[in-house]
Amino acid sequence: MRFVDEFREPELISNTAEEIRRLAGTERHYRMMEVCGGHTHAIYRFGLKDILPENIELIHGPGCPVCVLPMGRIDDGLAIAQEPDVIFAAFGDMMRVPGTQGSPLEHKARGMDVRIVYSPSDALKLARLNPEKHVMFFAIGFETTAPSTALTMMRAKAEGIHNFSVFCNHVTIIPAIRAILDSPDMRLDAFIGPGHVSTVIGCRPYEWIAQNERKPIVVSGFEPLDMLQSIVMLLHQLRAGQAKVENQYKRVVPWEGNRAALRAMAEVFQLRPYFEWRGLGFISQSALRINDKYAEFDAEQRFEVPGIRVTDPKAAQCGEVLKGVLKPHQCKLFGRECTPEHPIGALMVSTEGSCAAYHNYEHRKAAMVSLDPVA
């Protein structure tokens, strides 16, 4: 696969890991946070921790839009879909996320019309094909995905489609990073920046991290060589006492972002004054709602939503894991009451949530006496 395989070349990966070991030395302990759930997933999928030196610690950040969605919002979305003739459409990521009365798939088993879509445009297509039904698209994602939802609503408006609405749970990344940095028990040296969010927002929005917080941040791609190169770049900055924003993912991320995508978002969305993030609490100006011009597509305006807040069990330590203060296996519920099959907390619910990723890909490795180098 072009633009993928080159960045998975084993020899180059080994060489870059070697360079990281050289730069990291043995004296200092580095704590780097990868913000984006996609990076968390990549770290585990490619086994990158196996080739990084012990003194580089990767802390998993809060960039998992499924994980940070409060259970009450899932209940709300499913409540709308209980109305007769409503089709609940969502990405596969949402299908097993439990609400208080079960997940979307469990509701499907009980007779709700639930469809998995790959794209918001597929949800709109469902609306075109089923004029006698109403299609409600349960939208999630950071700024990577929000422009596609926005453009889909613009298309719906232009076509005069009336049986389509969006239940909007889009969130924004900068407030989440701020919440991490504001957290008193947080000690981080640097950030691996979210590469795909940055295709939309560009690299400027991170400048305050470098200038005010004095932490280096490298906007990174998702292949093994991308992430390793980003770590090399961060080590260079840290060793030189620098703090800058750098773009490792140049082949895809424009420094100024994607103007057309930002225009689409501005056309359709406005910022909510505040929004609850599961595990992090209420954060102001951190989420999007549909503006008045597109109110006809706002599921929250077209339908009654219970809007009941559901709090997580106190024993679940999602907040501390989300902020990188605890490792997944250090949460008392990890692997016992809280597993991928029976997730209690946010981070076990999505495959890129740090607890789920750790549980699925890693924690039985910790039990191994010695991991043989590969044959």
Partner 1 sequence: MCLAIPGKIVEIFSDNQDSALVDVVGVRRKIDLGLLQDDKPLPGDWVLVHVGFAMSKISEQDATDQMNTLRMLGEIDGAMQEVNGYGLEDVN
Partner 2 sequence: MLAESAPVRFRDPQIEMAHGAGGKASRKLVEGLFAPLLFGSSPGPLGDAAQVDINGTTVAITTDSFVVKPLTFPGGSIGELAVNGTLNDLAVSGAKAEALVVSYVLEAGLPTAVLEAEVRAMGKAARDAGVRIAAGDTKVVEHGKADQMYVTTTGIGRLLPGLRIDPRSVRVGDRILLSGPIGDHGITILLARGELDLEADLRSDTRSVLPLVEALIGAVGPGIRWMRDPTRGGAATSLNELARDCGLGMVLFEDQIPVRDAVRGACELLGLDPLHIANEGQFLAVVSPEYADAAINALSLAPGGSEAQVIGEVRQQPAGTVLVTTLYGGSRIVDMLVGDPLPRIC
Q: Figure out which of the listed residues 265, 352, 354, 355 binds partner 2, where binding follows CB under 8 A.
A: 352
Query: Does residue 116 contact residue 95 with C-beta atoms inside 8 Å?
Result: yes
CA 107 to the chain's CA centroid: 24
373 contacts partner 2 (rule: CB under 8 A): yes
Evaluated on CA atoms 312, 315, 320, 326, the torsion sign reads negative
How many residues touch partner 2 (CB under 8 A)?
57
Contact yes or no for 20/228 (Cβ under 8 A):
yes
Question: Nearest 5°: CA angle at 318, between 116 and 107?
Answer: 30
95 binds, among partner 1, partner 2, none (CB under 5 to 8 A by kind): partner 2
What is the CA 314 to chain-centroid distance, rounded?
Answer: 23
- Nearest to partner 2 of 237, 258 (CB atom): 258
Binding to partner 2, residues 273-302 (CB under 8 A): none
Phi and psi, residue 320, nearest 5°:
-70, -35
Q: By CB under 8 A, name the binding residues for partner 1.
A: 1-4, 6, 11-12, 15-16, 18-19, 22, 36-38, 63-65, 91, 118-122, 141-142, 144-145, 147-148, 151, 154-155, 194-197, 199-200, 222, 225, 229, 232, 248, 250-254, 258-261, 264, 352
196 binds, among partner 1, partner 2, none (CB under 5 to 8 A by kind): partner 1
Residue 259's binding partner among partner 1, partner 2, none (Cβ under 5 to 8 angstroms by kind) is partner 1
Question: Contact, 148 vs 263, CB < 8 A?
Answer: no
Token pair listed for 16: 């870059």
Cα–Cα nearest to 181, from 37, 87, 280, 318: 280
Shortest CB 38 distance to partner 1, Å: 4
For residues 103 and 165, which CB has a smaller minimum distance to partner 2 in the complex? 103
286, 171 Cβ separation under 8 angstroms: yes
Q: Is 86 helix (H, G, I), strand (E, B) or coil?
A: strand
112 within 8 A of 133, measured Cβ to Cβ: no
Contacts with partner 2 in 216-235 (CB under 8 A)?
A: 224
Using CB under 8 A as the binding rule, whether residue 98 contacts partner 2 is answered as no
Alpha helices in the chain (DSSP H): 10-24, 37-45, 71-81, 104-109, 120-129, 146-159, 173-182, 195-201, 207-211, 224-239, 259-268, 299-302, 318-322, 354-361, 363-366
Identify what 337 binds: partner 2, partner 1, none; CB under 5 to 8 Å per kind. Answer: none
The one among 109, 240, 295, 308 contacting partner 2 by CB under 8 A? 109
- From candidates 141, 205, 324, 328, binder to partner 2 by CB under 8 A: 141
Q: Is 167 in the site for partner 2 (CB under 8 A)?
A: no
Contact call for residue 261 and partner 2 (CB under 8 A):
no
172 lines the binding site for partner 2 (CB under 8 A): no
Q: Is 158 a residue that touches partner 2 (CB under 8 A)?
A: no
CB contact at 8 A, 331 and 338 = yes
Stretch that binds partner 2, among 27-35, 45-53, 180-188, 245-253 (CB under 8 A): 45-53
Q: Which residues bind partner 2 (CB under 8 A)?
A: 1, 4, 10-11, 13-14, 17, 37-38, 41, 44-48, 50-51, 64-66, 91-93, 95-96, 105-106, 108-109, 115-119, 122, 141, 145, 224, 340-341, 350-352, 360-362, 364-365, 367-375
